[in-house]
Structure 1
Amino acid sequence: MPNVRGPVAAAGVAAAALLVVAAAMVTSADAATAVTVQAEAYAAQSGVQLETTVDAGGGQDVAYLADGDWMRYDGVDLGPAGALTVGFRVASAGTGGTGTVELRTGSLTGPVLAQVTVAPTGGWQAWTTLTATAAAGHPIGAQTVYAVMRNSTGPRDFVNINWFSFTQGATSSPTATASSTGWVNVDAAKWNAQLADFRAMPMDPAPANAVRVSEFNASCTYSHSFKDDPIVFPGLPGASHMHTFMGNHSTNAATTTDTLLANAGTSCAPAPDLSAYWVPTLYEHGVAVEPKAVVVYYGSRLSDPTGTVPFPQGFRMIAGNAKLQQATPAGSVNQFYCAGPGGETGRSADGNWPLCAPGATLMFQLVFPDCWDGTHLDSPDHKSHVAYTYNGACGGAYPVAIPSISFLLAYPTSGTADGFTLSSGMASSFHGDAFLAWDNAAQGHRVKNCIVQKAKCNTAGTF
């Protein structure tokens, strides 16, 4: 049994804005409203490890917790004054004895909001919901809540936790649903139909002189800019830093799969790619510098690409970390570079940005995950449903091979010693979002002909 005691993490699995999701879930005759907090969506922790759960909704749970381990959750909405039922979704193999999970407000030693005693449930993935009534006069509104593990038998693993819930006036156990937790389930019927059509497609044989590289692309130009992010802040216009959008011209905070497929036009070729792609805006001396060209490559980094399948409609994911603010001197990973005659001629005064020769171009390449859990179109942190392959294969919790997307951006500037800034901060914070909406047939033929067959295709999807 795993027994890894980890260090305190300064940042959790999800951004603070994603920690708490309110959902109108009918849990009793009172039709009470519950707030569900995923256990893995902590802002800080000590002694925590994560694992994939088989519980309803899938995703991850916080695993193998022992005495003294804790997680911190920011902005938990405890609602108004009055009765509050707290749910704890737990599992225990019983090997560590019986322990207690405490929820405290304000600090690790703050007032106890609610607590439950966890007895063996029959296994580390044998899930049950325990409930407790919050203390009378509990804090109201948005609060910082700590989950603290107590086990009198010593530092032995005694509990896994999938989620917590907070229900005003309810007397029965709330049930988590995918839509209320940040996990977005794929529509099984539509996905199975898409897969069936893909598998029935004939493969166009590549010519003898084809370059044997799994690849096709979408060739894009700049479309528009908004302080919107329909993946991280859906329905909240202006809630984000400034983003540079490529692809679907309709993309804004209200974007959904249906609005993308409604075909408002795109700044990408081919026309059947109605996806939305975006990155933080680059600034030089306070003036936005938009990319002159963006190529979105769809390829494969697998040893055997023949099992690769297309993206389901509405698939979304993020690569990079908008919160990563650290120096990126020459030789660092995840950095801008110069391509073309003369290349890089120097660095900015702070060392974080390249200076390009007059004939060279400022570039950035961003690579997305290429293995999928096969169940979710999105996850609370927009990353947990996907993973990068590091050994040339997909497996385990991420068994489905999807095309390896990468953005290659070219900016029409050489830079100065003053450097640049991103709307998200330092160069290290560069990141990208993909909200996919291809015509199924157009994407399917490209995946089969170009990726599965391992033949380099052009933007039109031909050899």
Structure 2
Amino acid sequence: MHRQPARLYTLLVEALVVALAAALSLTVSTQQARAATVTVQAESYAAQSGVALEGTADAGGGQNAAFLADGDWMRFDNVDLGTAGRLTVSARIASAVGTGTIELRTTSATGPLLAVLQTAPTGGWQNWATRTTDVTTHPTGPQTVFAVLRSTTPGDFVNINWFSFVGEGSGPAAGWVPIDQAKWNAQVAQFRAMTAAPVPADVVRVPEFNATCDYSHSKQDDPIVLPNLAGASHMHSFFGNKSTDAFSTAQSLRGSAATTCAPADDLSAYWIPSLYEGNKAVEPQNMIVYYGSRLPDPAATLPFPEGFRMIAGDAKAQTPTPAGSPGQYWCAGAGGEIGRSTDGNWPVCAPTAHLTHQLVFPDCWDGKNLDSPDHKSHVAYTYDGKCSGAYPVAIPNLSFVVSYPTSGSAAGLRLASGMASSIHGDFFNAWDNAALGHRVKDCIVQKAKCNSAGTF
């Protein structure tokens, strides 16, 4: 989903059955020994008072706890606050009126105060902003956390999308992949030393370059969610690196010279759940992977570090997608959409059009981890035009645009992961550092539209 909602996958342990269940879990992990980052969805409360849920208006935004008033509360169990040390606490909020506070307390609604987050109008009930505060001392390990709403404003004063808890911790928990800081520093130094290419006067001033990647192969593998477990996933359609399978690593991808992408310098692996029309797979002819920026000033954008990976979307999301739903499939080409499938969840395209989808990834990074237990908690979407707080590093805004050779039909379609709402995508970075760095420097930092070759 296109948000920072990070739902931590339960760790892969013991038998394959447990691994499969863990890979699809949407609950906050209770097995983190040292929490580097824990993100708690507002709708995942164990108990509440005065809380209603609604869907967020932003594409793929999921749900939020809506129209909260003074005295309302939510209880969240097994929130791992990690080890002793500074804890950065954040909440994604939206408000049309009034001011107030969100008190985070442990043990009970009147228990010890953990943190206080200030709220104020953000311009509307679906105009989202992140509020952050630092805590110097706090309970450690898994805790019961209450969010208690306080305001002198009559009636509703705030919506909440999620909370995050970022601790210093003395080491990484299972599932976190800390970056090699010396290696990253060297990559950043190389990037900063690059001289930007002069931008011609007639170039479109949009921060963007792309890789155009043909369909490569399909496997029931997922080297990010189910590493080393061949055949343990639903079917995926792979693009880019031809060697990608359950055993792929950053080293193996960089060691392979075979890719379906232009440019050849991009050895990254990209994959999505396979699409079916009846029992027949409909494989996309290609995928255009756009690297851009949604920031008003993209000058601070840095290239992805070696071995970086992340996921967008939610394989467990099984909800209807009627016409007009955020992030839905659409018809590209002459004639466009001429109807809907019988179940209403898929467009039916004119014979001269084809099914298309765009999946957008997070564009802010914590600067510390190449991956996280749910493959989302180390990244976040920017909703206020900057990367800050727990996610201070601006990275390219990655998006997949996938075109399928089908117009659909009244019978509808299905993904290997289920309904249309379960669309998701995986990115495993294996770019040549210099090639990626020059593109970020020339095209994104300078706000100049480039092609697959990285030229204007």
Do the two structures share a fold, i.e. TM-score over 0.5? Answer: yes
1:111-151 CA distance string (max 9 Å, x none):
xxxxxxxxxxxx94436768xxxxxxxxxxxxxxx97689x
Please tell me whether residue 356 in structure 1 is matched to residue 324 in structure 2. Answer: no
1:207-240 CA distance string (max 9 Å, x none):
0101100000000011111111111111111221
Q: Which residue of 1 aligns with 2:376?
A: 383
Q: Distance in 2 between matches of 1:230 and 1:59?
A: 31
Q: Distance in 2 between matches of 1:183 and 1:35?
A: 9
Q: Which residue of 2 aligns with 1:434?
A: 427
| Aligned AA (1:67) | T
Residues 1:385 and 1:449: Cα distance change in structure 2 (over 3 Å): same
Q: Which residue of 1 aligns with 2:107?
A: 67
Which one of 408, 419, 422 corresponds to residue 415 of structure 2? 422
Q: Distance in 1 between matches of 2:275 and 2:115?
A: 53
Number of aligned positions between the proteins = 362
1:341 touches 1:357 (CA, 8 Å); kept in 2? Answer: yes
Q: Distance in 2 between matches of 1:93 and 1:125?
A: 12
Q: Which residue of 2 aligns with 1:177?
A: 171
| Cα deviation, residue 381, structure 1 | 1.0
Residues 1:361 and 1:201: Cα distance change in structure 2 (over 3 Å): same
| Cα deviation, residue 16, structure 1 | 4.0
Residues 1:358 and 1:48: Cα distance change in structure 2 (over 3 Å): same
Please tell me whether residue 334 in structure 1 is matched to residue 324 in structure 2. Answer: no
Q: TM-score, normalised by structure 2?
A: 0.71
Q: Which residue of 2 aligns with 1:15?
A: 9
Please tell me whether residue 413 in structure 1 is matched to residue 406 in structure 2. Answer: yes
| Cα deviation, residue 249, structure 1 | 0.8
* RMSD of aligned alpha carbons: 3.7
Q: TM-score, normalised by structure 1?
A: 0.70
Q: Which residue of 2 aligns with 1:325?
A: 318
Trace 1:204-223 onto structure 2 (pairs within 5 A). 204-223=197-216
Q: Which residue of 2 aligns with 1:267?
A: 260
Q: Which residue of 2 aligns with 1:457?
A: 450
2:292 touches 2:396 (CA, 8 Å); kept in 1? Answer: yes
2:33 touches 2:82 (CA, 8 Å); kept in 1? Answer: no
Q: Which residue of 2 aligns with 1:281?
A: 274
Which structure exhibits the higher relative contact order, with contacts defined as CA atoms closer than 8 Å and separated by 6 or more residues?
Answer: 2
Give the fraction of aligned pairs with identical amino acids, expressed as a percent.
Answer: 56
Trace 1:109-258 onto structure 2 (pairs within 5 A). 124-126=135-137, 177-178=171-172, 180-258=173-251
Q: Distance in 2 between matches of 1:219 and 1:54?
A: 44
Q: Which residue of 1 aligns with 2:297?
A: 304
Trace 1:285-296 onto structure 2 (pairs within 5 A). 285-296=278-289
1:217 touches 1:297 (CA, 8 Å); kept in 2? Answer: yes
- SS in structure 2 of the partner of residue 432 of structure 1: strand
| Cα deviation, residue 400, structure 1 | 0.7
Structure with the greater alpha carbon radius of gyration: 1
Unmatched segments (≥5 aa) in structure 1: 1-10, 23-33, 70-91, 97-122, 131-145, 164-174
Residues 1:94 and 1:182: Cα distance change in structure 2 (over 3 Å): closer
Q: Distance in 2 between matches of 1:307 and 1:162?
A: 25
| Cα deviation, residue 315, structure 1 | 0.6
Unmatched segments (≥5 aa) in structure 2: 20-30, 48-73, 92-102, 117-133, 150-162
Which one of 290, 305, 315 corresponds to residue 308 of structure 2? 315
Q: Which residue of 1 aligns with 2:131?
A: none
- SS in structure 1 of the partner of residue 276 of structure 2: strand
Trace 1:18-29 onto structure 2 (pairs within 5 A). none
Q: Distance in 1 between matches of 2:13 and 2:412?
A: 34
Q: Distance in 1 between matches of 2:115 and 2:221?
A: 48
1:138-178 CA distance string (max 9 Å, x none):
xxxxxxxx97689xxx99xxxx9989xxxxxxxxxxx9731
1:160-209 CA distance string (max 9 Å, x none):
9989xxxxxxxxxxx9731x421111110110000000000001011010
Residues 1:461 and 1:356: Cα distance change in structure 2 (over 3 Å): same
1:236 touches 1:253 (CA, 8 Å); kept in 2? Answer: yes
